[in-house]
Amino acid sequence: MKRVSTICPYCGTGCNIYLTSKNGRVVGVYPSRHNEINSAKLCVKGWNIPEFITHPDRLKKPLIRKNGELTECEWEEALAFSAQKLLEIKTKNSPDAIGVIGSARCTNEELYLAQKFARAAIGTNNIDHCARICHAPTVTGLIASLGSGGMTNPIHDIKNAKTIILIGGNPFEAHPIIAGHIIDAIDNGTELIVADPRRTRLCDFAAMHLQLNPGSDIALINAMAKVIIDENLTDQEFIKNNTEKYEEFKESFKDLSLEEAQFITGIDKEKIRLAARRYATQKPSSIIYTLGITEHYTGTANVRALANLTLLTGNIGKPGSGINPLRGQNNVQGGCDMGVAPFMLPGYKFISPLCGGNSDKKTIKKYEEVCRVPFPPQQGFMTPQMIEGALRGDIKAMWIMGEDLLTTEANAHKSQKALENLHFLIVSDLFLTPTAQRADVVFPACTFAEKEGTFTNTERRVQRIHKVIEPLGESKSDLEIISLLSSKMNYPMEYESAEEVFEEMKSLTPQYAGINYGRIESEGGIQWPCPREDSKGTPILHSEGIARGKGEFYVPEFLEPREIPDEKFPFYLSTGRILFHYNCGSMSGRTTRLAREFSENFVMINPEDARRFGIEEHEEAVVSTRRGEITVRAKITDETAPGLLWMPINFYKSRTNVLTNDAMDEKSGVSEVKVCAAAIKRSEK
């Protein structure tokens, strides 16, 4: 038996694990004891990692479409055909007729190469990844307000907070080990305030539950800011020394009424007042949020509204404080850091004035020197824009790496039409996902256990993953696949190792400049920014002043969700994740013990509504929106308030995103998957 230390490939918590292997198979998993994230603990997904790695469904040979069927072929044929098609499309149209989507399951090294492939081998900024459907507003919002888009404080620092506001997040299901840190903090006297339209599991441990109406976050947060200002609970010294635009901000709140906030949010105004007082006075106070804040067409404004609270009270840059987005996939933080986005280069170097950044000729010149080609001049398309572009016929080819777009993107039927409209589609993945089934070429990629590299977790900690077994069948790492295809396209990428890619990447990424593989191993991961080799990294952001110089107050305007219930669609539908599955379910859905707990999609409905619509527990019900309908079983529970339906997004065989709204936050490109209008009825079948 061989034992290798590595990192869990599911959520952004980045738990440290050991995998054991025998005869080329991963046979066991257990948690590492000596680390600050998950010391000796794992959640149920972590404990069940081994099965998907060598699951019989794994793709082991490349596939190419012949006579309408995906047929096994040799690597040489798949690579040569793909290179030829991409070069043809590039020459006949333009490099901007091609889009590339990287995967947050990939390593930093692979993500760095994905953006380099798009920009240097193809010549387009049409490069994106799944942050676009989760925390893109965190990047745009926090950079605009504070100058850095990362979680400000480490996971182990949660215990230092006296008050925690958990808003739009359900870590009990999506980040269970972090939920454990929150519960430990509560046991030590921390007060938890949960703001969520659902009565999630952590409400049982909370001092207050603010059960707001879906999409009314800004009304709630602004009302809290109003209380803090009116009752002189602000930190005037902090505001004076560290912020700008406070007077404008204060003035804009003059006429805001708590009665109106009560009407919009559905929360008693005295409860709002109490929550604001506790946050402002029981310091240090921390804000933790996830996709309930970001996945709205006002996602960036929602994030900035939360940043206002930290600036008003000086709850930033100190232990136990901060604004803490919990990132979803294992390496979505790395995807952002590596510049896998159409408007920024590695290290958050903005190539357009988005997010307050400026085109920087020196940065672009340095990038051109490293990549040895001219930089594509225009900002590229974000994923939803690529989908629109494919529908229009402007985007003719795409390479989707390790993403099941048809399961995870809002308004799935629209994405499906877009992919059908492409002239050429490449997908690399572990399994033949619904998206891969529509490809012209499928590259078999290998799992995290079959390669070397780094992941960056939600608290900006860069950690090493290690190869445990050889790649299954003929599968290859994404690093190898990207390098091979790029070389076939006359842009050679010849790297001896993942470490060599890391060294090149850090020359363009100031936050990673002082990090190397040796240091990561010996120091148990390093939290960026780590600009020099003698820097220890930065566990708490903004501790020596706000990264932006001065934190900027912003006046967020409350806007109703794009769709509100009406006669035809009388419910709000919200979506999210469940403990036993992850993202599109391609890995967790193929794990017997996880699939046994939840084997199929379902809809949560309040008992009162279920009675009204004649729906029984576990009975099939048809849920419909303006975009489509699906039939799922009903779960009757008072976790959802009357008037609210809730569904998980984790089932690729029954895709909730057929229903969701792709109304987009213009600043970040995120879709409003958290709220739309829906109807439900008993299934006639």
- Binding to ligand SF4 by residue 451, rule CB under 6 A? no
Residue 345 or 579 with smaller CB distance to ligand SF4:
579
Residue 349 or 461 with smaller CB distance to ligand SF4:
461
Choose one: 171-179, 292-300, 445-453, 656-664; the region binding ligand SF4 (CB under 6 A): 171-179
User: Of 29, 35, 46, 399, which lies in the binding site for ligand SF4, with binding defined by CB under 6 A?
Assistant: 46
Give 682-685's long-range contacts (Cβ < 8 A, gap of 24+): 682/613, 682/614, 682/615, 682/619, 682/620, 682/621, 682/622, 683/619, 683/620, 683/621, 683/622, 683/631, 685/620, 685/631
Residue 404 or 563 with smaller CB distance to ligand SF4:
404
For ligand SF4, the binding residues in 387-406 under the rule CB under 6 A are: none
Q: Round to whole Å and give the CA distance between 657 and 157.
A: 35
Contacts of 361 (CB under 8 A, 6+ apart): none
- Binding to ligand SF4 by residue 38, rule CB under 6 A? yes
Query: For the stretch 208-237, what's the b/e string if a residue is b when 16 or more beta carbons lie within 10 angstroms of its beta carbon?
Result: bbbbbbbbbbbbbbbbbbbbbbbeeebbee
Residue 43 or 659 with smaller CB distance to ligand SF4:
43
Residue 8 or 210 with smaller CB distance to ligand SF4:
8
SS (H, E, C) 603-622: EEECHHHHHHCCCCCCCEEE
- Binding to ligand SF4 by residue 346, rule CB under 6 A? no
Q: State whether residue 141 is helix, strand or coil.
A: helix
Closest of 432, 451, 472, 586 to residue 25, by C-alpha? 472
- Binding to ligand SF4 by residue 134, rule CB under 6 A? no
Q: Yes or no: say if 653 and 646 are a contact pair by the CB < 8 Å rule.
A: no
- Binding to ligand SF4 by residue 8, rule CB under 6 A? yes
271 CB neighbour count, 10 Å cutoff:
16
Closest of 657, 601, 596 to residue 632, by C-alpha? 601
Q: Yes or no: say if 660 and 576 are a contact pair by the CB < 8 Å rule.
A: no
Residue 191, CB-side half-sphere exposure with 13 Å CA sphere: 18
Single-letter code of the amino acid located at 6? T
How is residue 454 written in tokens? 């780094």
Choose one: 42-50, 137-145, 384-392, 645-653; the region binding ligand SF4 (CB under 6 A): 42-50
Choose one: 7-15, 466-474, 542-550, 566-574; the region binding ligand SF4 (CB under 6 A): 7-15
Residue 13 or 211 with smaller CB distance to ligand SF4:
13
- Binding to ligand SF4 by residue 506, rule CB under 6 A? no
User: Of 19, 29, 42, 355, which lies in the binding site for ligand SF4, with binding defined by CB under 6 A?
Assistant: 42
- Binding to ligand SF4 by residue 182, rule CB under 6 A? no
- Binding to ligand SF4 by residue 10, rule CB under 6 A? yes
Query: Which phi and psi (to 5°) does residue 364 adopt?
Result: -65, -40
Residue 35 or 140 with smaller CB distance to ligand SF4:
35
Closest approach of ligand SF4 to the CB of residue 468, in Å: 16
Residues that bind ligand SF4 (rule: CB under 6 A) add up to a total of 14
DSSP string across 160-181: G-SEEEEES--HHHHSHHHHHH
Q: Round to whole Å and give the CA distance between 597 and 318.
A: 41
Q: Round to whole Å and give the CA distance between 169 and 66.
A: 45
- Binding to ligand SF4 by residue 43, rule CB under 6 A? yes
User: Of 6, 45, 280, 488, which lies in the binding site for ligand SF4, with binding defined by CB under 6 A?
Assistant: 45
Residue 18 or 375 with smaller CB distance to ligand SF4:
18
- Binding to ligand SF4 by residue 177, rule CB under 6 A? yes
Choose one: 5-13, 284-292, 312-320, 411-419; the region binding ligand SF4 (CB under 6 A): 5-13
Residue 38 or 124 with smaller CB distance to ligand SF4:
38
Query: Which phi and psi (to 5°) does residue 418 adopt?
Result: -60, -45
Closest approach of ligand SF4 to the CB of residue 175, in Å: 6
Residue 8 or 344 with smaller CB distance to ligand SF4:
8
List residues near ligand SF4 by CB under 6 A.
Answer: 8, 10-11, 13-15, 38, 42-43, 45-46, 175-177
